[in-house]
A and B are shown apart, each in its own frame.
Chain A
Amino acid sequence: MNFEPIIGLEVHIELSTKSKMFCGCPAEHFGVSPNTQVCPVCLGLPGALPAANKLAIENCIRFGLALNCEVSEFSKFDRKHYFYPDLPKSFQISQYDLPFCINGKYESIRIKRVHMEEDTGKLIHTNLNGKKVSLVDFNRSGVPLVELVTEPDFRSVDAVVKFLKEIQLTVRYLGISTADMEKGSMRLEANISLRVKEQESKRVNELPDYKVELKNINSFRYLTKALDAEIKRQAELLEDGKKIKQETRGYDEDRDRTFSQRSKEEAQDYRYFPEPDIPPIRIGELKIKNLKFKFPELPSQKRGKYQKLGLSANYIEVLVQERARADYFETALALAKQYNISEKEIAGVMVNQNLDGKFAEPAGLVKKLVELQNVDYASQADVEEAIKKVVLDNGKAVKDYQAGKEQVLGFLIGMVQKELKGKGKIELIKETLISYIHGR
């Protein structure tokens, strides 16, 4: 049988705001020594109360808007309860039934919701004085976390990778997170099930009656391997006519296999209820307009623009991969206009020679290109002088050209260029040569 995967994603993105979600502690925690960025609020001490980070909420909404979501006019936080040593309050402040953003769409992928929550602390399992211990680092506790949930709209692993790369890029363009998977600022969970391919089944629109949740995916490479392994596992089971259990699984990279972590029966009851310590939040039309007004150009918009400039797909992708580089390109473009330097030329030296790496400022790059232009190209007078000489010396070739042998022109241009020691501008030589021959 021929199966197709049905995949939905949950993506967690740590926002790079200056302070944490509900207190004033610094949010940047990577490589910081343990438990140095903590306070009563993020340690969940008795009596501590959360005060929501406005900028984090705004950034969550901007992210939702970038994914074409509707913004909830009325929203609130909820408490999600479970016991774990890295969760000091025994609940996580999250959003349940009224997330900030809902019903988005990104290309063909429907976005179910984008909501705001807080990150947990981090457990470190290690040896201390010869004893196995688990330590808790609360620096990460309370860091703002955005969760994006898609509908199960992916039909291939490639589509998943492509979408995630685009999400990562979008987040970076918005400047709201580094979305670095290795550092844990972007984390994934995927829901996977298989169904018989459309052309072989009549029940096209029906989703399978199970899904397997794949957790703790921390790089793109890992993601592809884990998804492939899980799809293979499920296909084999289905081929054998077996039923697949709804459960949570992890991925063992060494054995290239997924393994069961938690079954459906052990599913938690999170006992959600509205967070009484944070009043509900109203987001007005005006606020949304303001947030939209501050929007940068997103990767998709840049791509469209560069296509219109006539850049090749290859060049476009390289430039778009970093917002700073795309911005550099555009600034250089604006500066270069007056010097008759083309878009392709700038893109070319950036992509092929990494010249933008050599010049911190776009103005430096443009100056360099202008210098090259001035130094290298022979003047109009020199070109005319060289043409005169070449035409005199190559009477036969000129006659052939006049008789209609157009390909001879290339030879003549070559001769002029030789005369100019390679400093002639081809366009200029060609133009001048043609008019000279015709003028004779």
Chain B
Amino acid sequence: MKTPLTINELYTALKNKEYSLVELLDAYFARINANHDLNAFITITDDYAYQKAREMQEVINNNPNAFGEFPLLGVPLAMKDLYLTKGIRTTAASRVLENYVPAYSSTVFERLEAAGAILVGKTNCDAWAHGSSGENSDFGVTRNPWNKDYVPGGSSSGSAVAVAANMALISPGSDTCGSIRLPSNYCGVTGLKPTYGAVSRYGVVAMASSLDTMGHITHSVEDSEKVFAITSGPEGKDSTLIDRKYQKLTGENKYKVGIPKEFVEQGISDEVKSSIDSFANWLTDNGHSVVEVSLPNTKYAISVYYIIQPAEVSSNLGRYDGIRYGNDRSTFGMEAKRRIMLGTFVLSSGYYDAYYNKAMKVRTVLIEEVNKVFEDVDVLLAPVAPTPPFKLGEKAADPLEMYLTDIFAATANLTGIPSLAIPTGFTKNNLPLGIQLMGRKFEENILFSLGKKFQKQTDYHTKTPQS
């Protein structure tokens, strides 16, 4: 049986009774088993999934309006192991939480489950979401399904791999500085980093609270929008959420798209550059206008990010003090220790103004700069990363080099704007290429509208690796 690529495809098959939910799960678990070497999952929840599948099958059999009432009925779901799932081990891919079984569930998981989605497992990621390659998990590296010698991108490595290799249909990740967009880009799938304040962070192991956003990975933009409509909106637990109901765009609009010259001028590979050019051509071919814009202060983004993020990390990880959650502080990995020490330093009295406070000021300047550009253009087109996927171990020894992978991701996180990563082709080595579209805050709908149109005319998002 061929696993579906979209929710629509799944619904058609279920409505036509081509397979039952149990048979659907059989197919997915067969793929999970066959792709064990990709190491996309930390925990497989098959018992739980089959139980749910039988329940949902009853709904399909007995409720004529089942698909109307449950917008994600039977959708195989893999959650990044940062999302708390009540009664199901949640590790954040760290040995510290190796045996932690949470007493409550994250808002996103609760909403997806209530919509009918079925959890097949918890996905691997860089420990505590610290990493850009998927190599920093205490549960082993995750491999790129397009070529197992290459990194899948991180930190939501397992989520991107699970969707790309059809081990799940949708997979929520978290994006603090590209952690959804980068693995989506490296695995040839669609990834949404929503507006800060759109999707609840409640019940997700916090990395850097002012930057963390809860998005998801899917094959198609259409599904990304469907999931966003369910996960977005306040619930009274995350105080940073803004009360806005998601409004899907209808009709054809023409947009002015800006390409920040600082993102394409230098330091990017030819293949990445040509994906930007061809997407720009697609835009103009479809009646949109493309202009060059300038965001001069984005060159400070990664420096600012590597002050604010460790500061917040050092605060958020303090609770794993060895008194609760089983394992003590010696089980923290090198990267977490590095960030705890960096963050503790920049927040120390005497250094606060020189580092944290200054970084916050530059962040404000960045926000103003981005807002200003959005007075002129509707959308920004940019690369997700400077290069296509790199080889496992290539950057692992040099943290600074690794940090620079996030150079184009940081702007959206620091300024809180949404960004959608879309696959747009392949390198000559058959590794995925893609772009990101950034929009004004709470204008995910414009990004989705452009992305859907693009995917209607192209088939990159339907390509799946041979594994």
Contacts and interface: CB of A to CB of B under 8 A. Distances in A.
B315 interface: yes
Given A40-B103, A269-B349, A46 B201 contact: no
Given A90-B319, A273-B315, A47 B103 contact: no
A269 B347 CA distance: 9
Nearest to B356: A273
A52 interface: yes
B202 to A, nearest CB: 5
A83 interface: yes
Q: Give the size category of B's interface with A.
A: 35 or more
A83 B329 CA distance: 13
A48 interface: yes
Contacts of A277: 209, 238-240
Interface string B197-236: 0000111111011100000000000000000000000001
A279 B240 contact: yes
B308 to A, nearest CB: 9
Q: Give the size category of A's interface with B.
A: 20 to 34
A123 B238 CA distance: 29
Interface string B82-124: 0110000010100001001011101000000000000000000
Given A40-B103, A85-B323, A46 B92 contact: yes
B453 interface: no
B64 interface: no
Residue among A83, A85, A90, A276 with the most chain B CB within 10 A? A276
Contact of B239 (A45, A46, A50, A85): A50
A49 B239 contact: yes
Contacts of B201: 47, 49
A130 B188 CA distance: 62
B148 interface: no
B403 interface: no
A391 interface: no
Contact of B311 (A46, A52, A269, A273): A273
A89 interface: yes
A45 B201 CA distance: 13
B243 to A, nearest CB: 13
B315 A47 contact: no
A44 B347 contact: no
A49 B312 contact: no
Residue among A44, A47, A48, A49 with the most chain B CB within 10 A? A47
Interface string A39-76: 01000111111111000000000000000000000000
A271 interface: yes
Contacts of A52: 239
A47 B240 contact: no
B344 interface: yes
A40 B104 CA distance: 8
A278 interface: yes
Interface of B is mostly: loop
B174 to A, nearest CB: 11
A90 B239 contact: no
B321 A83 contact: yes
Contact of A45 (B102, B240, B356): B102
A51 B347 CA distance: 24
A47 B106 contact: yes
Contacts of B83: 47
A47 B205 contact: yes
Given A271-B348, A273-B352, A44 B319 contact: yes
Contacts of A83: 318, 321
Contacts of A45: 102-104
B336 to A, nearest CB: 14
A84 to B, nearest CB: 9
B315 A79 contact: yes
Nearest to A50: B239
Nearest to A23: B237
B244 interface: no
B338 interface: no
A46 B97 contact: yes
Interface string A71-101: 0000000010101010011110000000000
Contacts of A79: 315
Nearest to A79: B315
Given A51-B239, A90-B321, A272-B352, 9 more contacts: A40-B104, A46-B97, A49-B201, A49-B202, A49-B237, A52-B239, A91-B318, A273-B311, A279-B239
24 contacts: A46-B97, A46-B205, A46-B319, A46-B325, A47-B83, A47-B102, A47-B202, A47-B203, A47-B204, A47-B206, A48-B202, A49-B237, A50-B239, A51-B239, A81-B315, A88-B324, A271-B315, A273-B311, A273-B347, A273-B352, A277-B209, A277-B238, A277-B240, A279-B239
